[in-house]
Structure 1
Amino acid sequence: MKRKLDVQQLKVGMFVCDLDRPWRETPFLFQGFEIRGEDEILDLQRYCQYVYIDTPELYQIPPPRKPAEKAVVEEALNHKKVERDLLIKIESHPLIKPVYHDQTSLEEEIEVVREIHRETKNLVYSILEDVRLGKNLNSVGAKKVIGEMVESIIRNPDALTCFAQLKKKDEYTAQHSMRVCVLALSLGRHLGLEKQELNTLGLGALLHDLGKMKVPNEILNKPGPLNDYEYALMKSHVPRGVEILDNTSGIPRAAIEVARCHHERYSGSGYIHGLKGDQIGLFGMIGGIVDCYDAISSDRAYHTGMSAHAALKKMYEWRNRDFHPGLVEQFIQCMGIYPIGSVVELNTGEIGVVVTMNRMRRLKPRVALVLQADYFPLPGARTVDLMNYNTRDGRPCEIERVLESGAYGINPVQYLPVTAAI
C-alpha cells in the first residue's frame, strides 16, 4: 500500500517508491529503493519535502524484521528496483563537491585553445618521430604544453574537449595521445586533483603510448585479429615505452605509471604485470579508463568507433572487472550523459549536436541544431541552450535520445567551434 510521508519521518528499512519531484532531478540511482542508511535519509531530506513509501503490509511481513524474513523482503524489493536510466542517475549523483568552477565561456576559451592545440599537435608528432629514430625526448617542450593545457582545462574543459573530437584514422597514435591527455586532465579536474598533480597526470597521459613507435605499423594497423606472436609484439609497447620514459630526465615517476599501467585491469586480467585492484594506482587507473574509452569510440583499421554515449555504457558494464567502479562512475559524471559531439534527437523532433556542457544542470547542454523535425536541414547555423529552449506547445525542451555516430550523415565536428583547425 502506497503512503505519503514527510521526509522527517523516514526510517532505515522503508521502501521509497515515489518522490515529490521527477527522479532524474535527484541523485538516486534507482526509481524505487529501500533506505539502507542514515545518509540516504539525509539525501532525501535535502531533495524532497515528502515521498511515497510502500508500507510493510504490502509484503505481508510485519516490522521489525527477523533475519530470516529480511531475505524474503529483499527478494521482493529486487523486483521493484527498475533502472530508469542508470547512466543519467550516475551522471547526476553528487558524489564529489566541485573544486574547480568554470572561469571562461566556451567562446572565450576556444580562441586560446586553438594555439595550444596547434603547439601540442606539432610537439607530439615531433616526439613520436624522435622515439622512432632513437633520439632523446623533448621533455621540456612536453611539460610546457601540458602546463598550458592544465591552465585551460581548469578555466573551462569544454574547449579542449571540442578539439579532442578531431579524429583521423590514419593519424591514430598521435591524435589518440592528445585525446587521452585531454580526457585524463578533464577527469583529474573533476576529481579535484591539485594543479601539480594535473601536470604530472597530463604528462604521463600524453606520453603513455610512446612504445608503439617500436612496434611495426603492419601490426598496429592490422585489420584482422592478431596471432599470438603479433599480440606479444603489440603488448611489448608498454615495457618499451616505460623504458624510454625511465631513461628520460625530468619525467616524474607518477607520470611513468600512466604508461606502465594503462593496460592493467581491475580484476588482474590486464598486462604487463597482471596488477589487481589498488595495486594499479590512481594514475594507472585513470590512464586505463580514458585510453579504453577513446579506443572504443574512435575509428581504427579494424573497427568502427561507437558513439560516446554507447562507449560510456560499455565502460559501466566493464566496471569491477576491468575498471575501478567508483572511478568509472566519476568518469561518466565528468563526461556527462551527453558528451560534447554527441548527435541527439530532441523532444521537438529536431536533430542536433551537443556543443558544450552545463555543469550545474547536466541534462541541459547547449545544442547546435542540424535537422528540423521533418529531417530537412535547418537553414543557417543555430545553437540553443536547453535551459531556456521550449517546444512549440511551451513544454521544456529535452534530449529524447542519443543517436549512433554518423546518424543522418552528420559529422559532429562540423558543428563544433574547431573548424579552423581541421
Structure 2
Amino acid sequence: MLKKITVEQIKPGMYVHDLICDWMSHPFVRNQFPLKTEAEIQKIRDAGIHELYIDTDKGLDVSDAPTMEEVNAQLQAEMLEAAQEPVPVIQVSVAAEMERAKKIRHQATRIVRSVMQDVRLGKAINMENVEPLVEDITSSLMRNGGALTSLLRLKTKDDYTFLHSVSVCTLMVTFCKAVGIDTETTRQAGIGGLLHDTGKMKVPDEVLNKPGRLTDEEFEIIKRHPSDGHAILLETQGVGDIPLDITLHHHERMDGSGYPDKLPGDQIHTLAQMAAIVDVYDAITADRCYHKGIPPAEALKKMWEWSKFHFNPKLMQAFMRTIGIYPVGTLVRLESGRVGVVTELHESNMLAPRVKVFFSIKSNTFIPVQEIDLSKPMGKGGADRILSHEDPAKWKIDPMRYLQ
C-alpha cells in the first residue's frame, strides 16, 4: 500500500515510492529506493523535501498515514474548487490558428537555436530577433491560446532545450494575460521566458544531455545556469530588469530550498514565482532522454501537491485556471465510452471543455469524428463527462491530427 508521510515520520527500514518534488529538486539517482541509513534521511531533509510516499508492502508502515488514493481524492477536490473561475475568451478556433502557430513554432525554434549557439560561441545576443518573436507569440495566443501551447508540448530530445524556452515564453505570456498583467510587463515576462535558460549553454553537453540521473557534482554544474544566464544577459544590450530577474530566480522555491540564492517566498518577485511554475510544468510534461513526460492533468495534480511548499498556491491556482485541468490537446475518456481530444476550454467550467470524439471503447473501433460541448446536455441521459485523461501512446493516437 502506498501512503503519504511527512519528513519527520521517516526512518530507516521504509521504502520510498515517490519524493514529492519535481525531478530537478532531489539528489537521488532513483525515485524509488529502500531507506537504509540516517544519512539518507538527512539527505532528503537537506534537499528541502517535506513529504513523500512510502510503499508499506516493501518497508515499514505508518498506521495512521493517509493512502495515496485518499490523497488523490482530496487533491482532485481541491483542484476543482480552485479552478472555478472564468478562463480567457477564445477569439478563433484551434484549427483556424493551427497553421499560423506551426509557422511561429518553426520560426521560434530557429531563432532560439541561433541565440543559444551565439552564447555558446561567446557572441552577443541579438535582441532584434527576440522581441518581434515575443510579439508574434503573443498575437497567436490572443487569437487562440490552445493552438501554440498544444504544438509546443511536442518535443524531441534534439530540440528540447530550444522548444522548452519557447514553451516557457508562451506559457508566461498566457499566464500574465490571464491574471491581468499589463501589456508591457507581459512582453518583458515573455522575453524572460524565452531567455531564462541561456546559462545552460555554459553547461557541457555531456552533462546537459546526460541520459540518466545526474551525480551530485553534475547537479552542482547544472545549478549554476541561472547565475551564468544572468551574467550573460547583464552584458546584453536592451535586456530589462524583468528578464534578468526571471533568469536568475526561476529555480527559487517558496520554502527557501531553491537556487541559486535560497530566497524565501516573500523575497521572490511574483513574475519569477510564475516562471518557476511554468518552467516545471513544461519540463515534467515533456519527454526527455531520461524520463517520459507525464500527461498535463497528472502534472497539474502533482504540482498542486508540491505547491504546499515549493510554489505560491494562489499562483498555482491561477495557472490551473489559465490552462485548464484538461488543457487543449489532452486525450480523454468520456463516461459514454468514447475517446476524444480537448479542443477548447469552457470559460467557467474546467470539467466541461469542447471535445472532438473519434473512438468508441465499447465497439473498439474508430467512429465518425464529432465535436461535442460537454457543458450542454446530451439527450435524455444527461450530459457526457470526462472520466480520465488517457496516454496517447497507449492508444497509438496522435491527438494533434484532430486539432487541425
| Contact kept? 1:150, 1:195, Cα under 8 Å | no
Determine the structure 2 residue equivalent to 1:4: none
Secondary structure (helix, strand or coil) at the match of 1:85 reads: helix
Q: Pick one of 92, 99, 102 that aligns with 2:90.
A: 102
Determine the structure 1 residue equivalent to 2:283: 295
Tell me if 1:88 matches 2:80: yes
Distance 1:90 1:406, change over 3 A: farther
Task: Work out the CA distance in 2 between the residues paired with 1:405 and 1:316.
Answer: 23
Tell me if 1:304 matches 2:302: no
* Letter in structure 2 aligned against 1:114: K
Q: Pick one of 147, 161, 168 that aligns with 2:149.
A: 161
Determine the structure 2 residue equivalent to 1:52: none
Tell me if 1:216 matches 2:208: no
Determine the structure 2 residue equivalent to 1:410: 397
Task: Work out the CA distance in 1 between the residues paired with 2:104 and 2:142.
Answer: 14
Task: Work out the CA distance in 1 between the residues paired with 2:308 and 2:269.
Answer: 15
Superposed counterparts of 1:23-422, under 5 Å: 83=74, 85-92=77-84, 94=85, 101-374=89-362, 376-388=364-376, 390=378, 393-404=380-391, 406-417=393-404
* Letter in structure 1 aligned against 2:83: E
Task: Work out the CA distance in 2 between the residues paired with 1:256 and 1:304.
Answer: 31
C-alpha displacement of 1:137: 0.8
* Letter in structure 2 aligned against 1:410: I
| Contact kept? 1:343, 1:407, Cα under 8 Å | no
| Contact kept? 2:94, 2:403, Cα under 8 Å | no
* Letter in structure 2 aligned against 1:185: V
Determine the structure 2 residue equivalent to 1:46: none
* TM-score (ref. length: structure 2): 0.77
Task: Work out the CA distance in 1 between the residues paired with 2:199 and 2:311.
Answer: 23
Task: Work out the CA distance in 2 between the residues paired with 1:404 and 1:114.
Answer: 23
C-alpha displacement of 1:244: 1.0
- 1:61-104, Cα deviation, whole Å (9 max, x unpaired): xxxxxxxxxxxxxxxxxxxxx84722222111x3xx77x64333
* Letter in structure 1 aligned against 2:79: L
Secondary structure (helix, strand or coil) at the match of 1:251 reads: coil
* Letter in structure 2 aligned against 1:400: L
Distance 1:220 1:323, change over 3 A: same
C-alpha displacement of 1:107: 3.5
Secondary structure (helix, strand or coil) at the match of 1:170 reads: coil
| Contact kept? 2:331, 2:339, Cα under 8 Å | yes
* TM-score (ref. length: structure 1): 0.74
Task: Work out the CA distance in 2 between the residues paired with 1:302 and 1:257.
Answer: 29
Distance 1:309 1:159, change over 3 A: same
* Letter in structure 2 aligned against 1:110: M
Task: Work out the CA distance in 2 between the residues paired with 1:281 and 1:294.
Answer: 20
Please identify, of 218-227 and 197-206, the stretch whose mean Cα deviation from structure 2 is larger: 218-227
Task: Work out the CA distance in 2 between the residues paired with 1:311 and 1:405.
Answer: 15
C-alpha displacement of 1:151: 2.5
Secondary structure (helix, strand or coil) at the match of 1:370 reads: strand
Secondary structure (helix, strand or coil) at the match of 1:169 reads: coil
Task: Work out the CA distance in 2 between the residues paired with 1:168 and 1:387.
Answer: 35
C-alpha displacement of 1:170: 2.5
Task: Work out the CA distance in 2 between the residues paired with 1:407 and 1:273.
Answer: 42
Please identify, of 125-134 and 362-371, the stretch whose mean Cα deviation from structure 2 is larger: 362-371
- 1:383-412, Cα deviation, whole Å (9 max, x unpaired): 333234726x54211112222453322332
C-alpha displacement of 1:266: 0.5
Task: Work out the CA distance in 2 between the residues paired with 1:280 and 1:375.
Answer: 53
Determine the structure 2 residue equivalent to 1:14: none
Task: Work out the CA distance in 2 between the residues paired with 1:366 and 1:101.
Answer: 14
Distance 1:321 1:357, change over 3 A: same
Determine the structure 1 residue equivalent to 2:12: none
Distance 1:194 1:251, change over 3 A: same
| Contact kept? 1:101, 1:155, Cα under 8 Å | no
5+ residue gaps, structure 2: 1-72
Distance 1:88 1:259, change over 3 A: same
Please identify, of 372-381 and 244-253, the stretch whose mean Cα deviation from structure 2 is larger: 372-381
Task: Work out the CA distance in 2 between the residues paired with 1:223 and 1:334.
Answer: 33
* Letter in structure 2 aligned against 1:361: N
| Contact kept? 1:340, 1:355, Cα under 8 Å | yes
C-alpha displacement of 1:340: 1.6
Based on CA coordinates, which of the two structures has the bigger radius of gyration? 1
